[in-house]
Amino acid sequence: MENPVTDIGKALNVQCVALRGIVSAVPDAVVGNAVFEEKFGAKAVAEISRMTGVQSRRVASANQTTADLAEAAARQLLQKLQWDSESVDAIVFVSQTPDYRLPATACALQARLQLPAHCAAFDINLGCSGYVYGLWVASKLIDGAGIRRVLLLAGDTSTKLVNPEDRATSMLFGDAGTATAIEFDETAAPSWYVLGTDGGGEKNLIFPRSQYRSALPAGEKLSAASPDHLYMDGAEVFNFTIRSVPPLINQVLRVSDKDISDLTYVLFHQANAFMLKHIAKKLSLRADQFPMNIDRFGNTSSASIPLLLASLGSEVRTANDVVLAGFGVGYSWAAVQLSLNGLEVCDLLEVKS
């Protein structure tokens, strides 16, 4: 007997919303795997690289933040689309590496980008699934709140969180910031979202140091992790991903009435190359349907999907049937089936440190 169809999240429909353009910005500093060999040994570095797929990553300088990268991306995007700043009704900043605990980084970016005072501005504290969640929130602002244009800024500078002595994280993550322009369009194809959460996985990918709550109650340990660095239980995160992502993709296909063969692309959060290939095999995806760029940029958290779009360039302008899927820290997951037809994807922007 076949297994029953199971839903992994809430399915939500969005109408009259179009993605107009994307710009991805990265630091100009490229750090290759060779720099880790003295600390971890060439054999260990080669093995980690084989599993994760990461050959190099972009690393922000000490004075360079996610907001700086996102601002540079937003400026180029507004210029490319010739959007008057007065026409932007909302700015949404998705990141787990904001400039400050408060105020919201979106508020600071509203001023830095000289957006109008009527512009709504707020942050979303999400990582791996954050870009798709951000698209959904921005789209619902347009679909249901009467807003016409939204700037979605998503990115992370996760290298600032990692322990340089922890090869599981120091060799995996990279930094990037992105900007996506979204607007009302009566002729836009509908999109379908599936969103879900399992907060029981909170301690398997966590930055323990907090202002208000310790992640290390009496008698509990997170391996040898320092509370001042990112901790990741790689095996648990891997198991969560393999268990959750295939049904996530299947559900979004079911609600959007698409077949896997209909899709031009399934663009995954760039978490780990071995993991993504395993998922693609389970879904019977062709190699050309799930491009990857983790080899050049590492895991860039909420920036990874738009950064992957930037890597594809003008090819996405004719992609009518695409699925974007983010998953990870939280645990949190989100996927969307949408059309990218006509999307303006600008060349990768390198920002000087």
Pairing mode, if any, of strands 149-157 and 175-184?
Answer: antiparallel
Distance of CA 3 to the CA centre of its chain: 31
Q: Which position has the token pair 């049904």?
A: 247
Phi, psi dihedral angles at 263 (to 5 degrees): -80, 135
Active site residue: 128, 229, 272, 346, which one?
A: 128
Catalytic site residue from 204, 229, 269, 346? 269
> CB-based burial of residue 68 (10 Å sphere; 0-12 exposed, 13-18 middle, 19+ buried)?
buried
C-alpha–C-alpha distance, residues 77 and 343, integer Å: 12
Closest CA to 309 of 270, 254, 277, 258: 270
269 catalytic per annotation: yes
Pair 78, 113: CB distance under 8 Å: yes
First CA to last CA distance, the chain: 58
Active site residue 107: no
Q: How many CB atoms within 10 Å of residue 163?
A: 16
Other CB atoms within a 10 A radius of the CB of residue 177 amount to: 36
Three-state DSSP class for 291?
Answer: coil
Active site residue 128: yes
16 Cβ neighbours under 8 A, 6+ residues apart? 142, 143, 184, 185, 186, 188
Among residues 198, 205, 221, 211, which one has the least CA distance to residue 158?
205
Query: Which of 204, 207, 206 is closest to 237 using CA atoms?
Result: 204
Tokens of 82: 């010739």
* Residue from 204, 250, 272, 299 carrying the catalytic annotation: 299
Q: How far apart are CA 245 and CA 243, in angstroms?
A: 6
Residues 6 or more apart whose CB falls under 8 angstroms from that of 111 comprise none
Helices and strands: H and E segment counts in the chain: 10, 16
Decide the pairing of beta strands 149-157 and 90-94.
Answer: parallel
List the catalytic residues: 128, 269, 299
